[in-house]
Amino acid sequence: MSARTAQFDALPTASSRRSRRDQAAGTPGPAPKPAAVKAALVVVGLGLGVSVGLALTAETRAEFSAAGGPAIFIGSFTGLVGTYLALIMVLLVSRIPFVERVLGQDGLLRWHRGLAPWPISLLIAHAIFITVGYAQAAKNGLWREAGVLVGQYPDVLIATVALGIMCAIGVVSLRAIRRRLPRERWWLIHLYMYLALALAYAHVIVLGPSFVRHPLTQLVWALAWIATAGVVLGYRIGLPIIRTMRHRLEVVEVRPEGPGVVSIILRGRDLEKLHVSGGQFFLWRFLTPKMWWQAHPYSLSALPRPPFLRLTVKDAGDHSGSLASLAPGTKVAIEGPYGAFTQHAQQQPRALLIAGGIGVTALRSLLEDLPRRSAPVVIIRASSEADFVLRREIGELVHHKRGELHEVIGDRNQARLDERALARMVPDIGQRDVYICGPEGFVADLVPLVKSLGVADESIHHEAFAL
């Protein structure tokens, strides 16, 4: 063991007499504020109402009853609402901290994906109805009118390109296609959404019937776009740069933990000011010539121990596999902390923590952060003893918190984690909060299982290691 990182091993153990959250672990992550998210939802709802109102009031009776009037009206209405929803989709993935702390990244992505078909469908409807309406007004054929709109109005041409990009992103995001693409390629394609929105902007303001001759509407809408761009740039680029510069993390040691699993220990400045809760994760960007362009999510496998941080990674592919050969001194950029898989989510006094495979990383730091009164029952599922990494630390923490540890080790068909086994290990499961962490399939199997044993939805918290 390196003498430089020896201090990192001094984690809370059975013998330590520390306060609930060791002072050396730095500042706890702030508690989520669901009321603030509800208020934000009200604002978003009001914005949608205003958009609908604008579309309705901008239309005069004469315009509506003219040739093509109803189709143009439907076209501008669907365009306005579709664009508004597209901005909301962007905001959902802009990593606004107070929203992220309540909904978590996976919750936000669920909303983002659930909303996605609406803006795209509404914008396609917008293009069709506007073309039909103008064709009726000009007594033109549909294709001829489409040619006129695209050929004579540069803003429409640009917006058509934008719609094409959005549709392509929509197709690529279909689950069946997304799963076949390397994650980085899918992510790069997804970034084109920002370009599409920027391209669409001008034609909305310049040509939208709700905007032409309505300077106040133009101003309000422009402010909404600028605010969205500001939020995205601030939280996705600005804040990570500031945090990276402030904490100046670098690799000090890569330590083997088990088959294909390494812990990476980083040293940084001012880590006591990094507000982080156990169970949270960062997006890590290791600044080597081959890896600097990829940011991957890995949980902290222990609370910060200033000046050190630790993550523990299993080789699951290109990026995770290459971390074993990181050289000491490698600089690291961070985004985060993210995640709602924390002690703040706890509803009941006691807790049950279940991890499958490498899910022990988030469980380990969450366990460290849980109050002793949680009397945590911890269940670890691993395919072999060697695969149960961080075993000693977890055992010590469980002992320290006066909890119970159950190890379910072996082949899935023999060492089963089913309803009967869970009910036997945790007879009071219905009176506990249940935290589940691990590979996507493991989490998907466990959530219905604990529900069937009487755990309320709001007491089930999970972090699947795939987004």
Residues lying near ligand FAD in the complex (CB under 6 A) = 183, 281, 296-299, 311-314, 316-321, 358, 361, 463, 465-467
Q: Which of 316, 317, 315, 312 is nearest to 284 (CA)?
A: 312
> To the nearest whole angstrom, how small is the minimum distance from the Cβ of residue 299 to ligand FAD?
4
Nearest residue to ligand FAD, by Cβ distance, number only: 317
- Residue 229 Cβ vs ligand FAD, minimum distance, rounded to whole Å: 24
Q: Which residue has the tokens 């990674």?
A: 313
| Cα 277 to Cα 274: distance, rounded to the nearest angstrom | 10
CA-CA distance, 377 to 367, in Å (whole number)? 10
Pick 312 or 343: Cβ nearer ligand FAD: 312
When the beta carbons of 178 and 214 are compared against ligand FAD, the nearer one is: 178
In angstroms, what is the minimal distance from the CB of 465 to ligand FAD?
4
Which residue lies nearer to ligand FAD by CB, 212 or 467? Answer: 467
121 three-class SS: helix
Contact 293/302 with Cβ under 8 angstroms? Answer: no
Q: What does the angle CA 413 – CA 399 – CA 415 come to, to the nearest 5 degrees?
A: 5
Say if residues 296 and 313 touch (Cβ distance below 8 Å): no
Tell me which residue of 390, 373, 399 sits closest to 437, measured CA to CA. Answer: 390
Nearer to ligand FAD, 51 or 299 (CB): 299
Query: In angstroms, what is the minimal distance from the CB of 150 to ligand FAD?
Result: 37
Min CB(340)–ligand FAD separation in Å: 10
| Dihedral pair phi/psi, residue 178, rounded to 5° | -55, -40
Q: If you write DSSP's letter for every residue of 177-242 in order, what string do you get?
A: HHTTS-HHHHHHHHHHHHHHHHHHHHHHHHH-TTTTT-HHHHHHHHHHHHHHHHHHIIIIIIHHHH
Q: Which is nearer to ligand FAD, 211 or 435 (CB)?
A: 435
From the CB of 85, what's the least distance to ligand FAD, in Å? 25
> Nearest Cα to 367, choosing from 381, 378, 356, 380?
378
Given a contact cutoff of 8 angstroms between Cβ atoms, the answer to whether 25 and 303 are in contact is yes
Whose Cβ is closer to ligand FAD: residue 203's or residue 296's?
296
- The angle at the Cα of 328, spanning 323 to 334, to the nearest 5 degrees, equals 60
Instruction: Report, in Å, the least distance between residue 297 CB and ligand FAD.
Output: 4
Smallest gap from Cβ 370 to ligand FAD, in A, equals 18
Q: Would you say 55 or 262 has its CB closer to ligand FAD?
A: 262
Task: For ligand FAD, give the closer residue by CB, 203 or 285.
Answer: 285
Beta bridge partners of 351: 433
> Of 143 and 293, which CB lies nearer to ligand FAD in the complex structure?
293
Nearer to ligand FAD by Cβ, of 268 and 357: the residue is 357
In the complex, the smallest distance separating the C-beta of residue 296 from ligand FAD, rounded to whole angstroms, is 4
Could you tell me the maximum CA-CA distance found in the chain, to the nearest angstrom? 86
Instruction: Please state the closest distance from residue 437 (CB atom) to ligand FAD, in A.
Output: 8
Burial class (CB in 10 A: 0-12, 13-18, 19+), 65: exposed
Which CB atom, from 51 or from 301, has the smaller least distance to ligand FAD? 301
What residue ranges in 293-415 does DSSP mark as E strands?
Answer: 296-299, 308-314, 331-338, 350-356, 377-382, 404-409
| DSSP letter (8 states) at residue 374 | G
Q: Which residues pair with 406 in a beta bridge?
A: 379
Task: Give min distance, CB of 300 to ligand FAD, in A.
Answer: 8
